[in-house]
A and B are shown apart, each in its own frame.
Chain A
Amino acid sequence: MRCLSIVCILAATGCTSKDQSTPSAAQAEPQAAPQAKPILTVYSGRSALLVEPLLKKFAEKRGVELKLRFDKSTEKLANRLAMEGDQSPADVFFAQAVGYLSLLGEKGLMQTLPKKLTEKVPAAYRSASNYWVGTSGRLRVMVYSPERVKNPPKTLAELADPRFKGRVGWAPGNASLHAHVAALQKHWGADKTSAWLKAMQDNQPVVYPKNSPQVRAVSSGEIDIGWVNHYYLHKIRAQDTSLKAANASFSPGDAGNLVMLAGIGIPKAAKNHQIAEELIDFILSDEGQNYFAQKAYEYPAKSGIKLHPEVAPLDNNLLQLPQSAQTDIAGSLALLRALRIQ
């Protein structure tokens, strides 16, 4: 089927757009084309290896054909959606950091989600304007080499200490870092955040396109410390037990101890609104949430889901900030660009 599909699209028959532009017709005439499945287009800033199995499980259950567009940069994907505007084929936008969903919502590019979906998660894990709902959380941590770093930094501020010059990695193009900088601007204020970022930059950090290669880089000796989310270590170690790296959190209440929320929403131009809602419902179901907990090593957004045994429960060491503190992505990017970091 997949093969046939690509032969079809490569022949440029335009069958994709026809299918997408007339979903209601396709649904209304099931007898005429009983084998034709409705198409659901998902834009995902979360990586294919992470979420594709879950999305495919939904497609199989619901009987839809998925068109998945992945991009490691949620920023690029959000810009694409903004460019496409009301002609976008996207039915669902799955973001690595919810700030981008808020931004899209503020620009009038997202629909509001019904309460029956948003109320499946605690109030802290959903948008006040109902543009998005959180799907899972990731803890911001350091990944480091216990052999080479005997005294890891105790605070995020200390990560910029000159003793770590050239030994730290980060991913300034990554949505998690953008969201964390947005939170720092709220918590520390613009001046302190700017000074800290400048100190980090002066320390010549090694730039990576994403968080996961930092985990590998610690193991291969490229860097001694990476600034990442907690679950990459678990995921990579599950494949490669020889990985030489460990996670560490900062001191209780420190600005580094932040829970980063991934979220999902429905673009205004979505053609398959109903199926998009069904997908979100599936992701927030016990099955979907268990997937994030057990397969992705993440913190489920919904209460009452058991964590993976390797993942430590969230405790009172977290920085107490509302999720909305992470949503000023425009301010975060402006600062990063002003400092020539991004």
Chain B
Amino acid sequence: MKTPSPALPLSLAAKLGLLGTAALVGLPILGLGLAWAYPVGLIDAPPIHTDRLVEATSNTVMLALLVTVFALVLGSLFAWIQVRWTFPGSALLTRLSVLPLVLPSFLLAATLREGLAPLGSLGELLGRQERFDGFGATVFVLVLSCTPYVQLVVSAALKRLPRHTEEAAQSLGASPSRIVREIVLPALRPALGFAALLVLVYAAADFGAVAVMDTQVLTYELYQFAGRGGVQAPLIGGLLIVAISPLVILGRRLGGDYGSSELSYVRSGHTAGQRPALWVQTIGTALLGTYLVFALVLPLMLITRWGVLIPAQGPLIGPLITTAVVGVTAGLATLVLGGFPAALVAQSKGKRGALETLTFVASGVPGVMIGFGLLQLALRVPQGSLRSFAEGGAILLLGLALRFASHSYAALKPALLTQSEQSIEAARLLGASRWRVWRQVRGPHLAPALASGFLLSFVAVVKELPITLMLIPAGHTTLATRIFDAHEDAHLGDLGVAALSLLGMVLVAQALLWRWSRHER
């Protein structure tokens, strides 16, 4: 058995850097504390509504659990079809079924709410009498949003699973259900654990879909109370941290080290498998088809119709430029904030699990909490210091970098860990300068991971809503905030045009990501 090598000691610079990073992570919590200690409001602060808190907490937990269960079942099934089965159309359908990743949850929610209303495009066809909003509708939307994450993680694990164990069990007469129960599921446990973590945190931290669907969960309650003064908002913020941090830690325990590199690259693509029975093919096709209608076809159809047929009122160029600038700068900031712990973990040969957990916990904190905490902090400090950062946009970048640091961490850690020290040593022995070693050895090795980390963060940043909504400097709008505002203003033309532009931007980034991903593999 291999003896684990001890972690290398940290240099003073690394220790200082670590301290600085920990301080940045603590800023939103400091803001929360200040808001609690010094509540300010124009009128008397509203009292703490305990019953609302209890209801919102229970809704949050139920929402996260239900979305996780349904998305795990659906995503695992799609992954199985993608990797293990082949039937007409299965390759195309399973490739398309990861595409809803490009749609932010608030956009999906807005289109489905409109489309499935009693007189909406599909609602009228289906003869619906009820509104499409509230808790059930939110579960539906978030399951659609989260299923691709599960499919990606589980399909990657399934592809790596050695088939010979299953074949041996089959030849010894084990039934298919027993093989799945006793061989496949235990082998997939880390992947399923990691996928469950992703979905749990996504659903508990979601702001956009719950806001559009008017579902009283903690994130939406925090947003609603955020501008009223009083202690209800910081109380909810604290509850969110208490509720979500254990989820992240539990998920990491369940998933072990599995997840840290799993979302580094978008993995998709169909592999040839067995041809199942006709009834299985029919059910698989129907499920995938239905999923695609709600998660992709209807939303795309509606935003295209709104964007093309209804004239937009506001100009688009400003939000487009702001989105690109925020995406690029926050993507770079995320590389720094996520790259630092990744480098430290790599330096210690994969040890320092606590640092990795801290990175994931910081990124697991809901955006609305980060936005609220940083805003409260900025508003309570004297003019000329942090206030100018808030008005200038640096605090927005900090919030976004905190929220998505784990994206670049997950992309960079494997590349840093697999860096060949022998090649670097050999180059040095041959007299290569430090710069030349970086340019010719380290750089080319890290470039795909850096590009992937940047693009993953860019895509997440341009789709992000609550931090941007709360911290964007006066006078600026991103495409995401334009979509949200246009939905609230019922200006569907503006919504359509902004959504088409955002999707275009995300698809270009995603295409580059796939290209880098292939290059890496």
Contacts and interface: CB of A to CB of B under 8 A. Distances in A.
Contacts of B42: 75, 78-79, 81-82, 103-104, 107
Interface stretch (B2-10, B199-207, B254-262, B382-390): B382-390
Contacts of B124: 221
A288 B485 CA distance: 24
Contacts of A17: 383-384, 387-388, 391-392
A120 B247 CA distance: 60
Contact of B329 (A10, A15, A72, A333): A10
A240 interface: yes
Interface string A62-87: 00001111111101111111111001
Q: Which of A12, A89, A206 has the most CB of B within 10 A?
A: A12
A3 B490 contact: no
B311 A84 contact: no
Interface string B25-58: 0000000000000001111101101001000000
A220 B473 contact: no
A10 B485 contact: no
B474 A67 contact: yes
Interface string A199-220: 0000000111110110111011
A311 interface: no
B372 to A, nearest CB: 12
Contact of B485 (A47, A206, A215, A340): A47
Nearest to B311: A239
Contacts of B117: 217, 220-222
A83 B226 CA distance: 12
A118 to B, nearest CB: 23
A72 B211 CA distance: 14
Nearest to B43: A330
Interface in A20-62: 21, 41, 47-49, 52
Given A73-B227, A173-B224, A13 B392 contact: yes
A241 to B, nearest CB: 10
Nearest to A218: B119
A6 B379 contact: no
B122 to A, nearest CB: 11
A76 B227 contact: yes
Contacts of B379: 80, 83-84
A307 B7 CA distance: 77
A239 B310 contact: yes
B326 A212 contact: no
A228 to B, nearest CB: 11
A82 B229 CA distance: 10
A241 B133 CA distance: 25
B464 interface: no
B488 A210 contact: yes
Contacts of A52: 314
B131 A66 contact: no
Contact of A240 (B211, B310, B388, B396): B310
A21 B388 CA distance: 11
Contacts of A80: 227, 379
B283 to A, nearest CB: 33
Nearest to A69: B474
Interface in B314-359: 314, 318, 321-322, 325-326, 329
Q: Residue among A18, A47, A207, A220 with the most chain B CB within 10 A?
A: A220
Most A CB within 10 A of own CB, among B46, B119, B133, B490: B490
Contact of A7 (B43, B325, B477): B325
A149 interface: no
A12 B491 CA distance: 33
A21 B391 CA distance: 13
B119 A48 contact: no
A5 B321 CA distance: 11
B417 interface: no
Interface string A99-121: 00001100100000000000000
A9 B119 contact: no
Contact of A87 (B311, B382, B488): B382
Interface string B477-491: 100000001111111
Interface string A134-178: 000000000000000000000000000000000000000100000
A79 B227 contact: yes
What interface size band does chain B fall in?
A: 35 or more
B422 interface: no
Contacts, number: 180
Size category, A interface? 35 or more
A234 to B, nearest CB: 13
Given A75-B228, A82-B42, A104-B42, A49 B491 contact: yes
Nearest to A44: B474
A210 B326 CA distance: 28
A77 B41 CA distance: 11
Contact of B227 (A6, A41, A75, A103): A75
Contacts of B394: 10-12
Nearest to A216: B490
Nearest to B121: A220
A240 B494 contact: no
B217 to A, nearest CB: 14
Nearest to A20: B391
A37 B44 CA distance: 39
B186 to A, nearest CB: 47
B123 interface: yes
Contact of A239 (B226, B313, B477): B313
A219 B44 CA distance: 38
A333 B139 CA distance: 32
A76 B392 contact: no
Contact of A41 (B211, B474, B489): B474
A236 interface: yes
Contacts of A89: 391, 474
Contacts of A232: 490
A66 B49 CA distance: 39
B494 A9 contact: no
A14 B388 contact: yes
Contacts of A49: 313-314, 485-486, 489, 491, 494
Nearest to A219: B119
Given A220-B119, A221-B117, A6 B476 contact: yes
Interface string B105-124: 00000000010011110011
B397 interface: yes
Contacts of A103: 42-43
A255 interface: no
B431 interface: no
A151 to B, nearest CB: 20
Given A6-B476, A210-B489, 19 more contacts: A5-B475, A7-B325, A12-B389, A17-B383, A21-B384, A66-B475, A67-B475, A76-B226, A79-B40, A79-B229, A80-B227, A81-B42, A103-B42, A212-B489, A213-B490, A221-B117, A223-B131, A239-B311, A330-B44
11 contacts: A10-B396, A12-B393, A47-B489, A49-B485, A49-B486, A49-B494, A217-B131, A220-B114, A222-B131, A236-B490, A330-B43
Interface of A: 2-3, 5-18, 21, 41, 47-49, 52, 66-73, 75-84, 87, 89, 103-104, 107, 173, 206-210, 212-213, 215-217, 219-223, 232, 236, 239-240, 244, 329-330, 333-334, 337, 340
Q: Which 10 A-B pairs have the closest CB atoms?
A: A76-B227, A12-B394, A221-B118, A221-B119, A220-B117, A17-B388, A216-B490, A69-B474, A14-B388, A9-B392
